[in-house]
Amino acid sequence: DAGVTQSPTHLIKTRGQHVTLRCSPISGHKSVSWYQQVLGQGPQFIFQYYEKEERGRGNFPDRFSARQFPNYSSELNVNALLLGDSALYLCASATYGADTQYFGPGTRLTVL
């Protein structure tokens, strides 16, 4: 079975731009969560979506938004990019909200 897929793999943006990251969950999984991993640290929770509704939000500014589509794929949007947004953005899927999460390979975002 295919695992969690994310696109793009790498992305370079400049300050002030916006970015959209995409995630496709494992087939049959209805929950998608987004995490930010800065170099040298563990992933930090950004959002969780389950059945197309936001079920949790981490301590991130309103510049960060997400949504989940009817096919359970998800997008993470970040507006007005800052240098500090440079990180690996991870998507994880689960059958339901509190079940085991399986991670994708991530999108490496560099903000110049």
Partner 1 sequence: AQSVSQHNHHVILSEAASLELGCNYSYGGTVNLFWYVQYPGQHLQLLLKYFSGDPLVKGIKGFEAEFIKSKFSFNLRKPSVQWSDTAEYFCAVGSGNTGKLIFGQGTTLQVKP
Binding site for partner 1 (CB under 8 A): 31, 33, 35, 40-45, 48, 50, 55-56, 58, 90, 92, 94, 97-106
Amino acid (1-letter code) at residue 84: G
Minimum distance of partner 1 from residue 10's CB (angstroms): 14
Taking the least distance from each CB to partner 1, the nearer of 26 and 81 is 26
Distance CA(32)–CA(16), nearest Å, equals: 27
Which has the closest alpha carbon to 36: 14, 67, 57, 13? 57
Minimum distance of partner 1 from residue 82's CB (angstroms): 22
Taking the least distance from each CB to partner 1, the nearer of 38 and 82 is 38
Extended beta strands in 16-101, E state: 19-24, 31-37, 44-50, 53-57, 64-68, 74-78, 87-94
Minimum distance of partner 1 from residue 3's CB (angstroms): 8
